[in-house]
A and B are shown apart, each in its own frame.
Chain A
Amino acid sequence: MSCPDKHQMLSHYLDGELSGEARAELEAHLKGCEDCRNDLAVMRGIERRTDRAIKALQVEEKGFVEKVMRAISGRHRSIGGAGTNWVVFLSILAGTVLLVALAATLIVRAVLNPAPCPPLPVVAKLAVGSGAVEVEYPGGATENLEGGSELVAGCVVTAGPEGALVELGGAKVYIGPKSRVGLPVIETGASYLYDGRIFVRTGDEPGRAASPGASIELEARSSVYLGTEKHAIVIPEGRMTLTTKEGKTEHAAGVIDDARAFRPSWVPASQLPSVWPCEGGSHLASGWTPLEGPGAGAKAERLRSDMKAIPALALDRSGAPVVDVLYFAGPLKTPGLGMTRRPDATLAVSYAGEVRVVERGGAELKRLTGISPVGPPVLIDDDEPVIATGSVLKRGDKVAGPISTKLLTGPAADGEGYAYAVGGGGYLLGLGPEGECMRMKIDGLAPVRPTVTRAGDVFVATGWDIWKLARGAEKLPEQAHARVDAMPSCQMVADGKGRLYCVTKRGTLRIFSPGGAQLFEHDLVSPARGLAIGRGRTLYVLLEDGALWKITE
């Protein structure tokens, strides 16, 4: 028995829910296994303690039932005190009371079932629900709705244990488990009114709080992720304005072009009693299989949900994802910025202030200190990693740059020793094998690490376009290579056949042919932190929420 199986078996055994055969098998196993016997004893102990504690909540039968029934009869019959001298009077009274009660019942029914009101406009659609999504209509009526239901203006959606996804105009709103969200009454645009406080951080600005009751306006192409663990709202793109209840604009953020630099978090108000941490938002996408269009029939499987601490995604020699950075790099004292890997399984791991080159197994080949890399370095050979630091790209004594702004990403390199990184203000900076410096200004360049193929093609993104640059190109080609629904959320990857893989900030995975035609799409809900292609064209995706997905076509 493996450990998880064992635990579940013991738990079922304890509850008397094992079948005769399984029970006999387990009992035979228990006789010979001290570990399992100990585990069972521990479980029994906790069980006894839990039982005592929960049983203490039990209520005394007689008093409770009487109280309820008294209240019911009080509400429905208005019974007075009985006396022998009042028999006749009471008979008349009883008749009257009955009539009054009947009339009252009719009135109550009329109030409960009023004449139909003019229908409210449908503003949203419940895309996927767990089956336990509750919707409270304006006026207080409630209903449990399934995926596909239409939602009217002014209703409040309370997500079930798996959250809910609401499609609102062009925007998608993911509501984390046990969270509530009010749908806009205003039909124009998309605005949300939360009763919680909203904290906003943009760029280097310290966090600031918007007042309770502020609303958020989003453009049609924005996505909202109402998170779970920290109750965060992530707005990958678009313009966001916070407006107070009184209509005063409190904070206008301008165009948001970097989701990571713009992460407001929502602290739920006290009337949200049940916001508990969950395993990660993307589990909502579990089991989604596109029925038609690109990607139909692909299988997406969530392997893990606990990888928030893993800074980047890399594959080991066998093509499986590295899930434990400590195995490669030894104990980390400062947060890592990420790691890159070469085919011979050597890793370069960068930290604030230093870069380490670590061999598979943990042996340290090189350590560079006193530098501040902005992202994981890249290894061209085992001696000198290329590092993006400040406004320059460095490899040993060879330096490209500076540019007039800071670099925003770590470098990526091709098979011939050319490395590229993206800087602020739309700069693409390159360093050649002999120290050649390449600078290109590209308007709207996405601040994600460029994707470089071994053949020397460089892929970068601007807004909704992906561009392909040949090695040594001095300007963008006439036409974009492909078009996406939002900027890439992390470095795109290209496979050996020239196919390009991209997860956008709206959480959609898109795969393009070498010619730029879209071959596949799959909604992962959350933006990604890393992408890698394993054996047999298996794609691994590490999402912002810490989930690791395996996607096979």
Chain B
Amino acid sequence: MEKGLPEIELVAKARGGDSDAFAELVRSYRNIVVGFAYNMVGDSFAAEDLAQETFIKAYASLATLEADEKFGAWLRVICRHTCMDHLRGKKGEVSLETLRSGGLDPAETGVRPVDRKIIVEEEEGLILDALRELRDDYREIIILKHIEELSYKEIAKITGLSVSGVGEKLSRVRQMLKEVLDEREKTGTKRPPDEEGDGKADD
């Protein structure tokens, strides 16, 4: 098994044709790539499919990866192109507005309502809705932070930002998120009372 090897070695082995090593990379990057894709398409089902496609493309073009230590950043670029191709292919179906509001309503997104793995609760919907109002570079940072609990340094490595830049952006995105949530809660989008007690902001 390839578990426990440093990422750089896994990448080198995968490039040499070791599919177990690649499987290990898929395992550790799966949520991050789903997060990237979700950030671009705003639909959790499509994001999963696109993440799989990203890994398949990545495997096919591992030979073009110039620096093994930039595997994460390289995956991000492939994912971005995959998502853009997907969105381009859906020309005429997906409007900017649909993208901004879509992804949650099965009627809008055309996703399979029966086998949805993620049941988006009202609370989660509210947060995801609020996230959608952010600029996508901000949204990407917060998704990376939460989906795999990455450190500033790890986020910086993937996004190409500086470590302090990541910190600054996270601080701003939290402020923005608070504003969006305050606004949404004020305009009547109800959410269930928070059993954990969130302090003053949730009054």
Binding site for B on A (CB under 8 A): 7-8, 11-12, 15, 17, 38, 41-61, 64-65, 67-69, 71-73, 75, 131-132, 134, 142, 144, 158, 161, 177-178, 268-278
- Chain B residues in 8 Å Cβ range of A42: 178, 198-202
Judge if B120 is at the interface, Cβ distance under 8 Å.
yes
Q: Which 5 A-B pairs have the closest CB atoms?
A: A45-B198, A41-B199, A42-B201, A53-B127, A11-B171
Complex partner residue of B202 from A45, A161, A272, CB under 8 angstroms: A45
Minimum CB–CB distance for A129 against chain B, Å? 12
A-B pairs with CB below 8 Å: how many?
Answer: 181
Minimum CB–CB distance for B86 against chain A, Å? 9
- Chain B residues in 8 Å Cβ range of A54: 35, 127, 131, 142-143, 146-147
Ordered by A's residue number, 11 sampled pairs between the chains whose C-beta atoms are within 8 Å are A42-B178, A42-B200, A45-B196, A53-B123, A54-B131, A54-B142, A57-B47, A64-B30, A71-B56, A273-B99, A276-B135
Minimum CB–CB distance for B140 against chain A, Å? 10
Complex partner residue of A57 from B44, B55, B181, CB under 8 angstroms: B44
Q: Whole-angstrom distance between the alpha carbons of A177 and B135 in the complex? A: 10
- Chain A residues in 8 Å Cβ range of B177: 46, 50
Contact A12 B40 (CB under 8 A): no
Contact A67 B38 (CB under 8 A): no
Contact B128 A53 (CB under 8 A): yes
Q: Whole-angstrom distance between the alpha carbons of A49 and B124 in the complex? A: 7
Contact A57 B34 (CB under 8 A): yes
Judge if B136 is at the interface, Cβ distance under 8 Å.
yes
1/0 per residue, CB under 8 A from A, across B42-54: the answer is 0010011001100
- Chain B residues in 8 Å Cβ range of A55: 146-147
Contact B124 A65 (CB under 8 A): no
Contact B87 A65 (CB under 8 A): no
Minimum CB–CB distance for B23 against chain A, Å? 5
Contact A270 B167 (CB under 8 A): no
- Chain B residues in 8 Å Cβ range of A275: 96
Q: Whole-angstrom distance between the alpha carbons of A11 and B152 in the complex? A: 12
Extra contacts besides A17-B152, A68-B55 (11): CB < 8 Å: A11-B170, A41-B201, A46-B174, A46-B181, A56-B124, A65-B26, A68-B52, A177-B135, A270-B90, A270-B99, A276-B134
Complex partner residue of B171 from A7, A45, A46, CB under 8 angstroms: A7
- Chain A residues in 8 Å Cβ range of B136: 178, 274, 276
Minimum CB–CB distance for B142 against chain A, Å? 7
Q: Whole-angstrom distance between the alpha carbons of A17 and B152 in the complex? A: 8
Judge if B13 is at the interface, Cβ distance under 8 Å.
no
Contact B174 A43 (CB under 8 A): yes
Minimum CB–CB distance for A321 against chain B, Å? 24
- Chain B residues in 8 Å Cβ range of A134: 77, 80
Minimum CB–CB distance for A19 against chain B, Å? 12
Judge if B94 is at the interface, Cβ distance under 8 Å.
yes
Minimum CB–CB distance for A117 against chain B, Å? 19
- Chain B residues in 8 Å Cβ range of A51: 146
- Chain A residues in 8 Å Cβ range of B145: 15
Judge if B137 is at the interface, Cβ distance under 8 Å.
yes
Complex partner residue of A44 from B93, B118, B199, CB under 8 angstroms: B199
Identify which of A46, A69, A278 gathers the most chain B CB atoms within 10 Å of its CB.
A46
Judge if B19 is at the interface, Cβ distance under 8 Å.
yes
1/0 per residue, CB under 8 A from A, across B15-51: the answer is 0000100110011001100110010110010011001
Given contacts A68-B55, A269-B91, contact A59 B34 (CB under 8 A): yes
Contact B123 A49 (CB under 8 A): yes
Minimum CB–CB distance for B153 against chain A, Å? 9
Q: Whole-angstrom distance between the alpha carbons of A278 and B197 in the complex? A: 34
Minimum CB–CB distance for B191 against chain A, Å? 8
- Chain B residues in 8 Å Cβ range of A60: 117
- Chain A residues in 8 Å Cβ range of B41: 273
Residue of B nearest to A50 (CB): B127
Contact B146 A61 (CB under 8 A): no
Residue of B nearest to A60 (CB): B117
Residue of A nearest to B84 (CB): A273
1/0 per residue, CB under 8 A from A, across B108-139: the answer is 00000000011010011111100100111100
Given contacts A49-B123, A142-B81, contact A57 B19 (CB under 8 A): no
Given contacts A11-B174, A273-B84, A273-B99, contact A57 B31 (CB under 8 A): yes
Contact A270 B91 (CB under 8 A): yes
Q: Whole-angstrom distance between the alpha carbons of A61 and B28 in the complex? A: 9
Contact A270 B96 (CB under 8 A): yes
- Chain B residues in 8 Å Cβ range of A65: 23, 26-27, 30
Complex partner residue of B135 from A12, A72, A277, CB under 8 angstroms: A277
- Chain A residues in 8 Å Cβ range of B81: 142
Q: Whole-angstrom distance between the alpha carbons of A63 and B103 in the complex? A: 22
Contact B171 A56 (CB under 8 A): no
- Chain B residues in 8 Å Cβ range of A43: 174, 178
Contact A59 B30 (CB under 8 A): yes
- Chain B residues in 8 Å Cβ range of A64: 26, 30, 48, 51-52
